[in-house]
Structures are given as C-alpha cells and as structure tokens.
C-alpha cells in the first residue's frame, strides 16, 4: 500500500550525528559529496568506504535500515555500472565482439562509479536524513541561506513552503489511500488493462486528491492568517540553533576525512582513474 | 435468513512490525437479509476496519467472511465482484466525487460493472431519487453542490450499483438535523423498496433508535454487545462503562420513572415517548 513508502526517514537516536547542529551536518554532507568526487584511486575508495562505515556505526542506525535507503537506487547503480563498462575506453582490451569493446579500465571505472553512488547515498542518509528531522533540516537551510535575505531573496518563505510541503506528505498519502479504497469500493480496477487504461483509472483518484489538496491549502492559509502569520520579518524561534561540542567533533571528523583523501590521492595513486 | 456471516475474523495492522496493532479479534457475526443493523463504538474500536472487511478491501488474517454462505476470498481474483454485491460508503464520501457531472459520477460504479447504457441511466435515476437528489442537480458539476448534496451524490454513487448489502460509515456525520433525517429516511426507503440489507455506523443513539432494529456494539476490536434495541439499550450501565450511552429520551424516561411515572422502560424515540406521555398528561392527540 501507499503508506509503506518511507518519506522523511528520520530514525531517532542520541548519537553525535543526531546531536550535531543541522547546519553543521548540512555543510558536512556537502563536503562529503564534493570530496567523494575527488577520490581517484583504490586506496582512496577503501579509505572513504571505511570512513562511511564508521559514520554508520557512530550514527547508531541499524545497518539493515541504512541498506533500505539504497534499495530503490539499486537499478540506477547497476545501470550506471553497466553503461560505463561499455562506454569507457582504455589501453587493456579484455573482450571484443562486433562493436562491443570491453576494457579493463572500463570495468574498474564502472566499479568505482557504482561504489561512489553507493557511498554517496549511504553517507548522505546517515549524516543527514536518518539523523536529522525534516524540520531541523529546513531550519538549517533557512539559517544557512539567510545572508541572501540582504539581496531580497525570500529565504524564509521558501523554508516555510518546504516545511509545509513535508508536513503534508503523510496526510496526502493517507488521503490517497482513502480515495483509492473509496473508488475500489465502486469497482475501480487499478491493476489490469494496458498503459492507457491504467492512466485513465488514475483520474478518479487524482481529481479528488487535487481538489482536497487545494481546499486544505486554502484552509491552512486562513488558519495561519488567523494566527497573525505575516512572513519571516521579526519572527523569533522557539528552538534557536546553536553550535556545540558535537559540532567541533564533526569538524574534527571532517578534517580527518579531507586529509585522508588528499593523502591517498598523493601517496597511494595505484589503480586510479 | 442470514446473508452475511463472519466467523472468527481476526485482523492486525502492520503485522510483524513493532507497531503491530490488533484491530479485530475473533469477530463472530450474523446479519439477516433485509435488516437494518446499526454498528456503534468508539473511534478506534475497529468499526471502520470491520466495514473494510465486508467488501474485501481488507483481507482477514484468519477467519472467514461468508456472503450467502460462500467465502468471499475463495477466489481472490473475483473480489471486485464482491464489491458490487456489498456496497461500501466510506466516511466523508463526498471526497471521492471526481466526474464532470453528478450523473457521470453516480454512473462510475455501474460502468465498472459493465452494464449497458440504458440500465446505467435507469440505475442512476433510481439511486438519485433514493438519495434525495432532484433531477436538476444531476447535470451540475459535483463541486457546485452543497455539502449535504455532495454527501447524497456520493451515497447515490454506491446505491447505483444496487448492492445486496449497503454498508455506510457514518453517513450523516457533520450534517445538520434535516440533512441527517433526509439521509436516514432515504436509506430506509432504499432498504424497503429494493429489499437490500443495510449496515450503518453512527454515533447518534437517536438515529440508531429510530432506524435500526438490531444493534452491534464494538469495543477494543471485539463485539461487546449485540441484539435488538431493547437488549442493547436495556443495559445502560454496560454501555456507560465503555463511554457510550442510551438515547437522550430514554434517559428522560428513566428519570420520569424514578419520579413515579408509570412509563415503560423500553422507550427509545421521541415519537414513542410522546405516544406514552400524552395519555398520562391528559392530552388528546397522540
């Protein structure tokens, strides 16, 4: 059913990663992504893999749950690897048949590419999505982008929009479930038929869903106005963000991470791409 | 004659996860053909889960649901046929309206049954009349209707399938007294004229007393009480224990009896109370 879809995968806990400031985690995640693309050699990948495993361990999120975030991407990872095997050229030809040429470099490149995506997803999930509530995350984005307010970018409004959107995802999923049940009770059939029939069968779900989403948005706007919401100007926060000890620790971890990658690239450039 | 029978039906949401939540435990139930049965219980007592069982939207973990003596899950591929025989009107059904006109929306169910055009048109007219929709409303967009009219259009959409059993989850919730009355009167007329069986959930003991001859009370996923109005309303203490009660007028009659008025305890509707009280007070018109 629809409700099995996990969105906002926050997994509660009290680890360093959970306690760190969401702004710090967001910056750390950006650094992690950027550095991941500087990794070039086998030693570098080994280091980043170990580092990511370390992140998973300190996050306290069960490995099984972390792997669940990879599953939806398995196809993309496999496809990327597959394409890279055939498209990369190099010096060591391993296999040739008609227009298909497979080089050793292609296989290595494909493996590295797959590993990179895998690490990207796992690292981002434990550093950010599993350990940060969606609300804390939007808060962090708002804070980090707040300098843009000087040039009249409506940062607060964007953050509020994101918060509201995320808040209503579960509600909309529940609503979809209900409407699907109601139409099934009237004999709707979502499974059989060709593509066109299947798309047509969605109309009785989508229209009521849109109607109620618009109505909900209207109601919410009125309710917010009733509580005197008038944008971000002069608005204070119940929970202000403060950097703390955990953020220093995260800074130390990031330093080790960056240094490790640079060292691997410089001193252990074996099997590199 | 029994048309619908549940034997030892159990259901747990999210089975096998830490959030497992037993919604129904060992439900045994028999519904008589052509009857109007009321289902009462608190929010979260399992009523809505039970209703979803009846037309196969949910499949019981164990136990059987027999429609006319046949297990509805005997052939899971044919479950949509069961849904045409057991029509379910969900809570706040006006949210399911989608088509361009009320007429087309009511026709959605019969169309899914693959009936021919003439039969569909006939059924739409009949269902609209049972639900109390005037013909001029049929060509309007469902989104132009008032709240009460939308509700009736949605009920008509299920009635148009002419199900043998019509199941409704709080069909009158959030409506004004006139709206409630219209909906229940329409249901009663539908039951009488088409011979269908009706099962209805409501929180209003007054509606239950007026329209349902048999009552089922659920609590914590199990059948708590079951029987005729007199059997269920005859034990107000037992109902009170789970936070339910008897109709207001029955409470009034109980007070009057305490005060020495020779009234019968089994008075559940205002009409019955009026008929019993007028002669006692020396009135003429009953």
Give the model confidence (pLDDT) of B193-217 as tens digits. 999 999 999 988 988 998 998 999 9
Q: Which of residues 98-117 of A touch B (CB under 8 A)?
A: none
Q: Does B96 sit within 8 Å of A183, measured CB to CB?
A: yes
- Measured in angstroms, the CA of A223 and the nearest CA of chain B are apart by 20
Name which of A14-23, A192-201, B64-73, B77-86 the model is least confident about: A192-201
In A, which residues are within 8 Å of B96 by CB distance?
179, 182-183, 186, 204, 208
Instruction: Write down how long chain A is.
Output: 273
The answer to the question of residue A38 being in a domain is yes
How many Å apart are CA B210 and CA B272, to the nearest integer?
Answer: 10
In A, which residues are within 8 Å of B83 by CB distance?
184-187
- Measured in angstroms, the CA of B257 and the nearest CA of chain A are apart by 46
Which three-class secondary structure state does DSSP give residue B204? Answer: coil
Give me the pLDDT at residue B285, please: 57
Q: What percent of chain A stands above pLDDT 90?
A: 33
Q: What is the mean pLDDT of chain A?
A: 86
Closest CA to A260 of A17, A51, A54: A51
How many Å apart are CA B236 and CA B83, to the nearest integer?
Answer: 36
Domains of chain B in sequence order? 2-243 (3.40.50.300), 247-286 (no CATH)
Q: Mutation target for A interface from B95, B105, B157, B166: give the one with most A CBs within 10 A.
A: B95
In A, which residues are within 8 Å of B90 by CB distance?
178, 181-182, 185
Give me the pLDDT at residue A4, please: 42
Say whether pLDDT at A1 is over 50: no
Q: Tens of pLDDT along B79-97?
A: 888 999 999 999 988 888 9
Domain that holds residue A262: 2-267
Structure-token pair, residue B227? 């029987």
Q: Tens of pLDDT along A85-113?
A: 888 877 777 777 877 788 888 888 899 98
Q: Are B151 and B93 in contact (CB under 8 A)?
A: yes
Bridge partners of residue B30, in order along the sequence: B5
Q: Mutation target for B interface from A187, A192, A200, A215: give the one with most B CBs within 10 A.
A: A187
How many Å apart are CA B55 and CA B199, to the nearest integer?
Answer: 12
| Long-range residue pairs from A52-58, CB within 8 A, at least 24 positions apart, any chain | A52/A119, A52/A122, A52/A123, A52/A126, A55/A17, A55/A123, A55/A126, A55/A127, A56/A122, A56/A126, A58/A15, A58/A16, A58/A17
In A, which residues are within 8 Å of B108 by CB distance?
183, 186, 188, 204
How many Å apart are CA A59 and CA A53, to the nearest integer?
Answer: 10
- In the numeric block, the tokens 């909906």 are attached to B183
Confidence tier at A5 by pLDDT (50, 70, 90): very low
Bridge partners of residue B31, in order along the sequence: B4
Give me the pLDDT at residue A159, please: 87
> Is residue B66 left, alpha or beta, with left meaning phi > 0 and alpha meaning psi from -120 to 50?
beta
Q: Which of A178, A184, A208 sits opposite B83 (nearest CB)?
A: A184
The answer to the question of residue A19 being in a domain is yes
Q: At what angle do helices A74-87 and A104-124 cross, to 10 degrees?
A: 160
Supply φ then ψ for residue B61, to 5 degrees. -65, -40
DSSP characters over B116-132: -HHHHHHHHHHHHHHHT
The answer to the question of residue A208 being in a domain is yes
Say whether pLDDT at A3 is over 50: no
- Measured in angstroms, the CA of B19 and the nearest CA of chain A are apart by 13
The answer to the question of residue A273 being in a domain is no
Name which of A44-53, B43-52, B185-194, B275-284 the model is least confident about: B275-284
Name which of A128-137, A248-257, B151-160, B199-208 the model is least confident about: A128-137
Q: Does residue B47 sit at the A interface (CB-CB below 8 Å)?
A: no
The answer to the question of residue A82 being in a domain is yes
In B, which residues are within 8 Å of A207 by CB distance?
98
The answer to the question of residue A60 being in a domain is yes
Say whether pLDDT at A233 is over 70: yes
Specify the pairing of strand B62-67 against strand B36-41.
unpaired
Nearest residue of A to residue B54, measured between CA atoms: A185
The answer to the question of residue A107 being in a domain is yes
Q: Does B57 sit within 8 Å of A185, measured CB to CB?
A: yes
Q: Which of residues 156-185 of A touch B (CB under 8 A)?
A: 175, 178-179, 181-185
Nearest residue of A to residue B162, measured between CA atoms: A186
The answer to the question of residue A272 being in a domain is no
In A, which residues are within 8 Å of B165 by CB distance?
none
Q: Is this prediction's pTM over 0.90?
A: no
- Measured in angstroms, the CA of B155 and the nearest CA of chain A are apart by 11
Q: Total structural domains in chain A?
A: 1
> Is residue A160 left, alpha or beta, with left meaning phi > 0 and alpha meaning psi from -120 to 50?
alpha
Greater confidence, A153 or A95?
A: A153
Q: Mutation target for A interface from B49, B80, B98: give the one with most A CBs within 10 A.
A: B98
Q: What percent of chain A stands above pLDDT 70?
A: 96
Confidence tier at A8 by pLDDT (50, 70, 90): low
How many Å apart are CA A10 and CA A13, to the nearest integer?
Answer: 9
H helices within A37-154, ranges in order?
Answer: 42-59, 63-70, 74-87, 104-124, 134-145
Q: Does B90 sit within 8 Å of A181, measured CB to CB?
A: yes
In A, which residues are within 8 Å of B112 by CB distance?
186-189
Structure-token pair, residue A266? 């410089």
């Amino acid at each position: 059913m629809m409700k099995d879809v996990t969105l906002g995968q926050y997994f509660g806990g009290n680890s360093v990663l959970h306690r760190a400031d969401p702004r710090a985690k967001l910056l750390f995640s950006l650094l992690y992504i950027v550095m991941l693309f500087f990794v070039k050699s086998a030693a570098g990948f080994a280091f980043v893999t170990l580092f990511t495993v370390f992140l998973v361990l300190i996050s306290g999120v069960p490995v099984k749950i972390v792997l669940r975030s990879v599953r939806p991407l398995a196809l993309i990872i496999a496809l990327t690897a597959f394409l890279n095997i055939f498209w990369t050229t190099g010096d060591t030809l391993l296999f040739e048949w008609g227009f298909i040429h497979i080089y050793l470099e292609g296989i290595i490149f494909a493996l590295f590419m797959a590993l990179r995506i895998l690490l990207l997803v796992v690292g981002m999930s434990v550093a950010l999505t599993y350990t940060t509530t969606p609300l804390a995350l939007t808060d962090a984005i708002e804070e980090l982008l707040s300098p843009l307010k000087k040039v009249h970018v409506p940062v607060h409004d964007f953050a509020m929009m994101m918060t509201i959107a995320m808040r209503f995802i579960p509600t909309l999923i529940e609503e979809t479930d209900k409407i699907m049940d109601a139409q099934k009770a009237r004999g709707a059939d979502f499974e059989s038929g060709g593509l066109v029939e299947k798309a047509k069968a969605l109309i009785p779900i989508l229209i009521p869903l849109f109607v109620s989403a618009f109505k909900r948005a209207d109601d919410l706007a009125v309710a917010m106005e009733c509580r005197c919401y008038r944008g971000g100007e002069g608005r204070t926060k119940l929970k202000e963000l403060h950097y703390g000890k955990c953020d220093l620790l995260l800074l130390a971890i990031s330093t080790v991470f960056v240094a490790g990658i640079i060292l691997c690239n410089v001193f252990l450039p074996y099997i590199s791409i | 004659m029994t048309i619908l029978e549940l034997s030892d039906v159990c259901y747990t949401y999210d089975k096998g996860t830490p959030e497992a939540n037993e919604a129904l435990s060992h439900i045994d139930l028999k519904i008589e053909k052509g009857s109007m049965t009321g289902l009462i219980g608190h929010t979260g007592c399992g009523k809505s889960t039970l209703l979803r069982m009846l037309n196969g939207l949910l499949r019981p973990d164990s136990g059987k649901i027999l429609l006319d003596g046949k297990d509805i899950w005997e052939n899971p591929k044919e479950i949509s046929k069961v849904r045409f025989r057991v029509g379910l009107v969900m809570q706040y059904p006006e949210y399911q309206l989608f088509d361009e006109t009320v007429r087309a929306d009511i026709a959605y169910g019969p169309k899914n049954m693959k009936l021919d055009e003439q039969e569909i048109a006939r059924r739409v007219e009949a269902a609209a009349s049972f639900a109390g929709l005037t013909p001029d409303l049929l060509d309007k967009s469902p989104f132009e209707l008032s709240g009460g009219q939308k509700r009736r259009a949605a009920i008509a959409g299920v009635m148009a399938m002419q199900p043998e059993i019509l199941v409704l989850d709080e069909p009158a919730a959030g409506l004004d007294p006139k709206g409630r009355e219209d909906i229940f009167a329409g249901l009663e007329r539908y039951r009488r004229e088409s011979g269908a069986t009706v099962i209805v959930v409501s929180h209003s003991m007054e509606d239950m007393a007026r329209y349902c001859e048999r009552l089922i009370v659920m609590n914590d996923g199990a059948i708590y009480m079951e029987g005729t109005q007199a059997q269920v309303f005859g034990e107000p203490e037992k109902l009170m224990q789970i936070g339910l009660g008897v109709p207001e007028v029955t409470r009034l009659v109980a007070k009057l009896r305490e005060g020495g008025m020779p009234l019968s305890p089994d008075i559940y509707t205002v009409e019955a109370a009026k008929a019993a009280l007028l002669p006692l007070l020396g009135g003429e018109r009953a």
